[in-house]
Every structure is written in structure tokens, then in C-alpha cells.
Structure 1
Amino acid sequence: MVYIILLSFLASLFIWAGFIVTADHSDRRTVVTNGLWILVILLILKAIQTYAWLPSRNPLSLLGANLIWGAVTLVALYFLCKVTTHSSFFKTSVAAGGLLTVLLIVVAGGEAHSTFSVKSVAKSIQTKKVSSKAAPTFKRGVTPVALSPKTVKNRMNKNMSDVPNSQYFHLGDIQAQYYHGKPVYIAPVEFDGFFKYLSAKQRTPGYFIIDATSVSAEPKFVRKSMKYTNASYFNNNAQRHIYQDYPQWLVADNSEPQLEVDENGTPYYIETTYKSMALSHRINYSKLHVIAVNAVTGKTNLYTLKNLPKWIDEGITSDVADYMNTAYGKYQRGWLNMHLSKTGIQVPTNSEVISTFDRQGRVQYFTDFTNPRSDADSALGYSMINARTGQLIYYKTHGIMDSDGARNNADNNYKAQQWKSSMPVIYNINGKPTWVLSILDSTSAFRGYYYIDAADQSVHATGNNANEAVDNFRQALVDSGASAGNTAGTKLKTITGTVDRAALVTKGSNQDLLFTLSGSHTVYTVDGDDFQKALLTQNGDKVRIKAYVVNGKSVGNVEKFTNLNLN
């Protein structure tokens, strides 16, 4: 930090030296004294500013600091010397002004490059574009839908009594990660202000951890005295500690460190960092690094994304993921297109990503994109960002509602109870993009799941748990005539059997056949428009069918139907 302060005053030193050299012999002592007082005052101000704000440390930022502090030094020294000496400093001031003009041109050029080279920023993101049919799917028996962070925070706050001297602390931000192979949420206990920081002897007592997918899970408080946190002050602040140990690395997108714990439960604060070009602030997302600071000991380590320890699930912090989505959606065709024609522009529907847990045991950040027009309510696509590698997978869609539309639909179904939806995420269910939302009451307590067909808001279902909700939703899809062809755990089976129960169901102007086979509890559905003879089926008829059947489900969709008795 000291060298950053000193490097910010090189221009000031040159200007001061110029005044000393050009001063009359009788005035030099006064010029030296004047300059020394000015520099001491400015150095103190710069030290306070650097310590408080942790400014960027790349060469462009240092040149900018020289420009600002040099200009202040020139003005202060010129007027002070004019009052206290008889020497003329006009030529010296002109030369100093020339130096500052050169700095201004260089700094302005670097800032312009940082602002206008947004296309290169977007291209640096590892991107893969796929069809929405390749979207994440459910795995039967594994709950892929996490509890809402609002619910988690509510439960953790109710357990703050487990924290020693809880009056000194409050709950920090909720983070998603895997712990011993299981998806969990963790949240640090943070200081509730400066005086509480002193009263707590500058250490927080630990953090909370909770199963992320069990609706009945209760948080557990883990006692682990932490010295280096986001809420700590002075040199114990996690970001300032990283700044001191790695001054050449810049904080990506002004993000804050996030808490993670290793397999032993040791807490760390994780920061996403990068090195920019010499005369630019432009970020290269393909060359991000991660700095981890041990919250107990303060030891720091620098990693590339390819060499992250296995326990780090979010080397890309959620703040950085937010900026990546913005860059991907807005910067693909450059700065002018972003502000003028807006061709191909799409913006994240919400400002914050949603952390999800995928089937491969990874944390993924979800967000959906919509048209920049304020009246648009359709989703153009959605992304999943791998929190370890930074790869952004974009799922192209058409004709589906965005997350705001899904939430409005869910909220309207709970107007009487005044419950609200939360955490909208798209999954692929029965080959259809489906919004999955958590329903919370006014206290943020979990009340159930809400599933809605992203392309048809009339098809929706609820359930007290994820499996019940998805079963009800699949039945709603069957009732609407949807196919089950692309559901995880689904197989197309050829089945021959005797009809045990049969019924005709009217759906609009059409009829469907619902039936069961002897020895099976599965209810099969046949579209009467596709197989008209199926409507003549009676109990005891022998049939041969090809049907999509989901493991563990009681509903099957018939793709081919033959009534052997009729033939």
C-alpha cells in the first residue's frame, strides 16, 4: 500500500523539483519548505483515501492519480510561492502544465479504451450456445430445487440465540456450496457496527450451515473464531488483507469476497481477481484468478481457475457472474450498437443471479434474459454460469415468459394468502422449459413449490415438496396433451397387457382414453385424435402400446396404441 501512495506522487515531485530549480537563490529555502508542507498534507490525504477506498492499482490508475495530485500540487505551490517569494514561476508552471496535459491525454485514452472496448470483454467469456431442449433436467429421487435464500435467512435468524453474545452480531450474506458432497447454504455471523467490533474483541464466533434442499432442515451454528471477514475493520478486513498481500491483482467488477468452507469446516473468504492491460481497466474473463484468505489465520493463496482446490465451489463470485451476464447480453456487437441501434441486445431480467445445484454436483448461476424494452415480458433465453470454471452456457428459447411473468403468475394464485414466489429457475420437464418457484409466506417461511409451463401459463401445479410438485405438474402436462419424451429417467417401453380399468375424458372438443393394465398402477393416456379406435376400448381388452414411462411415476404417455381385440 505504501508503494502505491508513493507512486501516485511522482508528478508532484517533478513539479516541486522544477519550482526549486527555477527559484531565485534567496527563495529556494522557502520553496522547499512550501513544497514539503504541501506534499506532506497531500500524502496524508492520499494515505487516508487509499486505506479507506482501496483504489485500483494498475498503471492507468496510478497515472490518473499522478494527474490529479500533480494538478493540486501545481496550483497550491504556485499560489503559495507567489505570496511568499519574489521569483517568477510562469515558465515552470507552463512546463508542469505540459506534463499534466500529456498525462491527461494518456489517461483519457486509457479510460476511453476501457469504456469502448466492451466487445472484447464479451468475447473473453467462455461461452457455449445450445438449444433449450438441452436444459437441465430433474433426476428422480434427488431434489434439484434449493430452498430460497430468504427462507434460509429466516431460519438462521431464528437461531441467532445459539451465537455467543449475539447482541454484537447480525447474519451475513447467504452462499451456496457443496460440503462433503451435499448441497448446503452457509452464512457468516458478522459484526453489527464498529463499537460491537471492539466489544467482540475483533473476532466473530463462526458461521451457520444448513442443508440446501431439505424443506425441514434446521441450521447448525459452527463455532469457528474468525478474525478476517468482510465486516471486520482496519487490517482485519478480508478485502483489505487481500489488497495488501496481492496489490498487483485487481478486484473483478468491484465484487466482495464470499465465504466458503473447506471439508474440515475451516472458513475462507474467496475473491475473484484479474490483471488488466497496462493502460486499460478492461477485464479479460478468460484469465481470472482466485485469491482465498483463511478467515482464522489470514493466510492467503492465489489460484488459477484450472487449479482451484476441490472445496472451492464459487471461484467466480455471484457479483462477477452478474457482470458476465450483462457483458454477454449487451456487449456482443460493441459499444455503439449497445447505445444506438441495440441490435441483438438482451438484458438480464433481474439484477442478481440465482445459485442452483446441478446433477453433477456443481454450483451454477442462473439468470434469464429479456428484451431491453420495458414493456417486454418474454424471455429470449437464459444462462447457466459454472461457478468454478466461469463457462457460460446460453439456452436459446422462444415464446416463453420471463421470470417476472412467472412470478406474477404464481403470486396471482396466492393472492388470498398473500404469499409470494421466490427463486424462479427454469428446468426441462417432459421436454418443456418449466419455471420452478418457491412459495413463501409473509415471514419468508417455505409453503411449497410452484411449477408452470414457461410457454403456457395455463399449465401449472403445486406441491409441498419437489417430487410431489413435479408429479402433479407432469399430470397437468398429460391432461394438456403434452408428450413426456425428454424427461430425465424416462424410457420408451413396449408393453402388452389386459386393460383393467378404462375411462374417457373430455378435453375441450376432444376425448382422451385413460386406462390401467392388470398388475400395474400406472395410468396411461391416449390422445383420441391420434388413435380414434382407442376410444372403443373396454375393460378386459388386450392392448399393445409404446409409452413413455418415468421411473417411479404413476403416469405414462402413449405414443403408439393397438387394441388387439379390435384387430
Structure 2
Amino acid sequence: MMKEMFKKGLVILWIGAMLVSYWMFLPPLNPLSTDFWWFVIEGLILAFVGLSLTTAIDTIGKANAQKATNTGRKEVNPINTVQDKWLKGIGLAIVGLVALIMGLNLLNSRVFRAKSYANVITVKEADFTQDFPETDISTLALLDRKSAKKIGDTYLGTIDKVSQFGISDDYRQVTIGNQPYRVSPLEYKNFWKWLSNRTEGIGYYVKVNQTTGKAELAPLEQPMKYSDSEYLFRDTLRYLRFKHPFTIFGDPSFEVDDAGNPYYVATIYKPRFMLTSKDPVGVILLDAVTGETKEYSLDAIPDWVDRVFSANNVLTRVDDYYTYQDGFWNTVFSQTGVKETTDSYNYISIGSDIYLYTGITSATADSSNLGFILVNMRTREVTNYKLASATESAAMESAEGEVQEKGYVATAPTLVKLNEKAYYLVSLKDDAGLVKSYALVDAEDYQQVTVNNDIEQLISQFTDLDTSALSGTASSAAGQAEVEIITGVVDQLASQMINGSTVYYISSSGDIYKVKATEDSTDQLPFLKVGDSFSGELSKDNYLKQFKVNPSEEEKETNE
């Protein structure tokens, strides 16, 4: 009786252990997933251990019984014989599955299938000067993730129940209305805070404009009931696993659509080669408010979804493409034509999409790039823009060298194209992680570095475009100070060329104002003369924006 109870207890313990393991690790119930097979192997190992215990107990019990009867004759126990067969079968199954997984991984590795890995993606070739889009100053992402987090975290104190919530470390880069933002949801600080607030849910998320640096604690019309900080069945990963038990997908990430509605995006994967080399084939969108989920194939994903492919997936595929075109052994010995991505990458916004860019260099190069790779993170369309240039690391070191006496540290640079030239825009931070200065490094000649504490002034030295969006002065609706309008009469007038742009100096009533000639300047600017009346918005360093030449009294009378 005791033996039977012990065996039943072991079965119950096995079932409990497998349920706990599934609850914790959430493997997909899909034979194309290695996680599924490791889960099966775990179950077989636990079964092997349990059966070994019962066999040992039966053997000990039988030996004691024979000793008590003093027969001295060994008898064959049919139960033990069956258990031995099961033990042998389970052991062989464990060894066979492990060997099969390892064998398939080896046979489908880059050693034997280098050309297959190289052909997963295609790369479009283009010329940087002619084909790379001119940088849109109004959507230039100046803040990296750490800077955005530092700004966003300061807004937590503006909500009720501040002691109950924190801000998630996500700060995922998205585009909202063609503007680059970092967004991150609020989260429960711990289990007890969740227990007290789970009924109400999470009513806010933080968004930080990466161009202007303005942060906002965005309220939701309806609170989120599903998030990464939930417990039990409303945890995003667990919720999606139970709703999609057979689907292979990655960790869900937080995004918002253009209307500000919160979602979690989980990329669906399928192995390229047997059980190896997972590659995205679609996404699952989880409405963080309602819990509704929907699967999309790659060609049907909504346009507002910004990140389907991870940076790791993109960089791995690009490296495979440039590394294994001539097979695996070429990369070991001659390395003919072998290229690779550099050790730094960043993101830029173009239109409503986010692109990853990184340099492409020869496998034997030191500090020079052969061009830049631009990858759409929603579609994985890859373009190689040919341009001999410095690597990102070389540009960062050059920027740090310009301010070495201050000890600033350069962040990963942003690639910009100004007046058909390539530059690295580098933020320079102090020991506290605060951006103190900016540097523009000529990508083709990284020894040419221009540093300025004012980003607007720095960019204006290299382009005729309006740069006011960089300081947020163009957005009075965002709580900026009122714009000061200047009106006056030209007493004296002069001009000079600064970095290829004409700057007009206007003396009026003892003050000197400056007007930079751009594509948007009034056509009357070149004909400005002493005695003309003018008006404009006063900007930094006495520059006038929205400059206008006002008609004289005689011209008004003539027009009347």
C-alpha cells in the first residue's frame, strides 16, 4: 500500500513540476521550436528519475523479503523487468533527442549552410550622395535612450498615487505623427502595489520627443489591464502564450499607435533551417486595454507598427550576407570580399518609419567604412549606400578629442545628411549623463569636427534649412515662452558669407539684428536697403526668424 501511494505521489509530483516549469518558461507547444523539445527532455529526465526511485525501492523491498524467508534463491520480479525496459527506453529517448537537436544544429549551422544564410536577405545598392534622403531637421532624434529616460522619469511625480507606480525601463523608440518619440508605460512597483491597484489598471504612459526633448505623461482614456508588470494571467507574455499556445513568438514590446492607444507587439518567428535560425514571419498585436489579440502576416502589419525586426536579427542577417557570399571557409582563410557591420548602430526616423543604420567595413579595416547600411525595422528592407567614410567609433573619439579638457563622453552618433554631405551628429555627456554639447563630425574626414553647446546654431552652420524645431521654438503650443516680435527701420545694412550662407546684418535704433538667407526667406531680402521697414521673430543671438520687409507709407498709398 505504501509503495502504491509513493508511486502515485511521484506521478503527482511530476505533473506538478511540469506545470510549474511551463508556467515559468512558457515554451510554445510547437515541434519547430527547440524550447518545446527541451521542455520534453526535461519531462523525460524527471520521469527517468522518478522511475529509477520506484525501481530501487522495489529492488530493496524484494531483497529484504528474500532475506527474511532465508530461501537464498533469487527470483525474477516481472514488475522490475518492465520498469527496467521503461528506464532503458526513456534513457535512449533522452540521449536520442539531445543528439538529434545538437546534430541538426550542427548540420544547419553556418559551417555547412553558409550560402543559405547569406541569401536570407537581399541588399539594394545605392549611392549616398544621390540616393540617401536629406535629413529632415524637424524629425532629428537628438536624445538617446538614456537621456530620454532621465527626462521621462522626472515626470512621475506629477501623477496621483506616485508611491504605487514607477516607469518601465522600456523607452522604446517609435514614430507618432512622423515625430520620433521614446515611449514607456507606467508599472506597478511591486506585488503588493499591484494587488492594491490591479482593478483600476495603469492609466498613463510617458512619451519623450527625441527632437525637442519635451516629455509628457500621457493619460489614457481607458487604463491598461495588460502589461509586463502584471502578475498571473494578465502578464503580457503569459497571456499571449495561453491565447496562442502553438505560436513561436518573442518577448512583447510596448508601442502606441498614432492616436496614442497602447499595444504590445510580439514578433512571430519561424525557423529558417529545421530548428535553427528563427526569422520573423508576422506579429501578434495585443490591445493593452481590452486584451484583444490579432495575428498579422508581414505584408499586412499596420503602418503605425514601428519595430517588427529586432536589431540583433537585422545585424545578424546583414553580417551573414556580407560574410558568407563565398562560403564559410573563405571567412577563415583568405577572407576575400568579406565585410561586416561596425560595432555601433543607431536609429533614424524617415517619414513614419524607423530605420537602423550602421557602417559596413572590410573585415581587415581599422577605422574606415565602405558605406552605410539602412534597414527599415518594420519591413527589413536593406539598402547599402556606398560612401568611403570613418567608422562611428572613430567619429566618437574625434568628437571627444575636441573637448578632452572637459572629459565629456560621446554617445552613439546619428547619421545626418546636410547639403548632400554625410556627417555624424554626436551628443557629448558629462559624468552625470547630461548632454552638455554637440559635435558634427565630417564622415569622410573625421578630423573635421565642429562643436557647439547650442544644437540649433550648430546645425545652422551646415544647412540653409530652418533649424528652430531643434530648440522647440517653433512650438508655442508646447508651453514655450511667447515669441518677441521685432519691428524697425534699417539704419545701416551689411552682409557676409558664413559657411556658404549669406547673413545680413541690420542696424536699427542702436541694435544689430541678423537674418540668414535660406530657401524660405522672403524674395525681398536681397533688395533690402536703408530706410526699409521690417519685422521678424527674435531668436537666439539676435537672429530674426519669419523676417518680412514691410511696405512703406508711399507703397501703402499707391496700393490703396
Do 2:177 and 2:352's aligned partners in 1 also have CA atoms closer than 8 Å? no
CA 1:516 to 1:418, structure 2 compared with 1: closer, same or farther past 3 Å? Answer: closer
The one-letter code of the counterpart of 2:425 is V
Partner of 1:426, secondary structure, is strand
- Deviations 1:508-564, CA, capped at 9 Å, x for gaps: xxxxxx8999xx9479xxxxxxxxxxxxxxxxxxxxxxxxx97369xxxxxxxxxxx
For 1:516 and 1:172, locate their aligned partners in 2 and report how far apart those are by CA, in whole Å.
Answer: 41
Partner of 1:49, secondary structure, is helix
For 2:299 and 2:406, locate their aligned partners in 1 and report how far apart those are by CA, in whole Å.
Answer: 48
Q: Which residue is 1:264 aligned to?
A: 259
Q: Which residue is 2:171 aligned to?
A: 174
- Deviations 1:175-204, CA, capped at 9 Å, x for gaps: 222223433332222233334333443733
Do 2:402 and 2:449's aligned partners in 1 also have CA atoms closer than 8 Å? no
CA 1:173 to 1:344, structure 2 compared with 1: closer, same or farther past 3 Å? Answer: farther
**Structural mapping, 1:438-457, within 5 Å:** 438-457=427-446
Q: Which residue is 1:41 aligned to?
A: 13
| Aligned pair partner of 1:299 in 283, 292, 298 | 292
For 1:319 and 1:289, locate their aligned partners in 2 and report how far apart those are by CA, in whole Å.
Answer: 17
The one-letter code of the counterpart of 1:201 is R
Partner of 1:219, secondary structure, is strand
The one-letter code of the counterpart of 1:81 is T
CA 1:146 to 1:357, structure 2 compared with 1: closer, same or farther past 3 Å? Answer: farther
Do 1:274 and 1:283's aligned partners in 2 also have CA atoms closer than 8 Å? yes
Q: Which residue is 1:506 aligned to?
A: none
For 1:264 and 1:430, locate their aligned partners in 2 and report how far apart those are by CA, in whole Å.
Answer: 34
Do 2:135 and 2:417's aligned partners in 1 also have CA atoms closer than 8 Å? no
Q: Which residue is 2:97 aligned to?
A: 103
Q: Which residue is 2:242 aligned to?
A: 244
CA 1:159 to 1:65, structure 2 compared with 1: closer, same or farther past 3 Å? Answer: closer
Partner of 1:128, secondary structure, is strand
Do 1:188 and 1:259's aligned partners in 2 also have CA atoms closer than 8 Å? yes
Do 2:7 and 2:54's aligned partners in 1 also have CA atoms closer than 8 Å? no
Q: Which residue is 1:6 aligned to?
A: none
Q: Which residue is 1:551 aligned to?
A: 519
- For the aligned residues, what is the CA RMSD? 3.8
Do 1:121 and 1:331's aligned partners in 2 also have CA atoms closer than 8 Å? yes
Q: Which residue is 2:550 aligned to?
A: none
Alignment partner of 1:311 is 2:304: yes
* Offset, 1:245: 1.6
* Offset, 1:149: 2.8
CA 1:43 to 1:370, structure 2 compared with 1: closer, same or farther past 3 Å? Answer: farther
* Offset, 1:339: 6.1
CA 1:78 to 1:369, structure 2 compared with 1: closer, same or farther past 3 Å? Answer: same
* Offset, 1:161: 0.7
| Aligned pair partner of 1:387 in 377, 381, 385 | 377
**Structural mapping, 1:523-542, within 5 Å:** none
| Aligned pair partner of 1:80 in 54, 57, 62 | 54
- Deviations 1:418-462, CA, capped at 9 Å, x for gaps: 333224122333443321222334444444432111221232223
**Structural mapping, 1:425-464, within 5 Å:** 425-463=414-452
Where in structure 2 are there 5+ consecutive unaligned residues? 63-76, 465-492, 505-516, 522-560
* Offset, 1:173: 1.7
CA 1:320 to 1:193, structure 2 compared with 1: closer, same or farther past 3 Å? Answer: farther
Do 1:293 and 1:300's aligned partners in 2 also have CA atoms closer than 8 Å? yes
Partner of 1:242, secondary structure, is helix
* Offset, 1:302: 0.8
CA 1:131 to 1:78, structure 2 compared with 1: closer, same or farther past 3 Å? Answer: same
Structure 2 length normalisation: TM-score?
0.70
For 1:204 and 1:322, locate their aligned partners in 2 and report how far apart those are by CA, in whole Å.
Answer: 35
CA 1:307 to 1:515, structure 2 compared with 1: closer, same or farther past 3 Å? Answer: closer
The one-letter code of the counterpart of 2:52 is Y
For 1:432 and 1:142, locate their aligned partners in 2 and report how far apart those are by CA, in whole Å.
Answer: 18
Q: Which residue is 2:44 aligned to?
A: 70
Do 1:30 and 1:84's aligned partners in 2 also have CA atoms closer than 8 Å? no
Q: Which residue is 1:489 aligned to?
A: none
Number of equivalent positions: 455
The one-letter code of the counterpart of 2:277 is R
For 1:372 and 1:107, locate their aligned partners in 2 and report how far apart those are by CA, in whole Å.
Answer: 32
For 2:148 and 2:386, locate their aligned partners in 1 and report how far apart those are by CA, in whole Å.
Answer: 32
For 1:52 and 1:214, locate their aligned partners in 2 and report how far apart those are by CA, in whole Å.
Answer: 41
Alignment partner of 1:131 is 2:124: no
Identity, % of aligned positions:
21
Do 1:346 and 1:380's aligned partners in 2 also have CA atoms closer than 8 Å? no
The one-letter code of the counterpart of 1:300 is T
**Structural mapping, 1:195-206, within 5 Å:** 195-201=192-198, 203-206=201-204
For 1:53 and 1:190, locate their aligned partners in 2 and report how far apart those are by CA, in whole Å.
Answer: 22
Do 1:67 and 1:100's aligned partners in 2 also have CA atoms closer than 8 Å? yes
* Offset, 1:100: 4.2
* Offset, 1:278: 9.0
Alignment partner of 1:190 is 2:183: no
**Structural mapping, 1:280-295, within 5 Å:** 280-285=275-280, 288-295=281-288
For 1:166 and 1:348, locate their aligned partners in 2 and report how far apart those are by CA, in whole Å.
Answer: 43
The one-letter code of the counterpart of 1:230 is D
Do 2:354 and 2:377's aligned partners in 1 also have CA atoms closer than 8 Å? yes
For 1:417 and 1:161, locate their aligned partners in 2 and report how far apart those are by CA, in whole Å.
Answer: 33
- Deviations 1:181-229, CA, capped at 9 Å, x for gaps: 43333222223333433344373332012333125x2434324522212
Alignment partner of 1:355 is 2:347: yes
Partner of 1:125, secondary structure, is coil
| Aligned pair partner of 1:153 in 146, 149, 160 | 149
For 1:552 and 1:442, locate their aligned partners in 2 and report how far apart those are by CA, in whole Å.
Answer: 40
- Deviations 1:296-329, CA, capped at 9 Å, x for gaps: 1211111112212232222334454454455445
CA 1:219 to 1:442, structure 2 compared with 1: closer, same or farther past 3 Å? Answer: farther
* Offset, 1:377: 2.9
Partner of 2:275, secondary structure, is coil
For 2:247 and 2:102, locate their aligned partners in 1 and report how far apart those are by CA, in whole Å.
Answer: 22
For 2:324 and 2:156, locate their aligned partners in 1 and report how far apart those are by CA, in whole Å.
Answer: 44
Do 1:228 and 1:236's aligned partners in 2 also have CA atoms closer than 8 Å? yes
| Aligned pair partner of 1:207 in 205, 208, 215 | 205
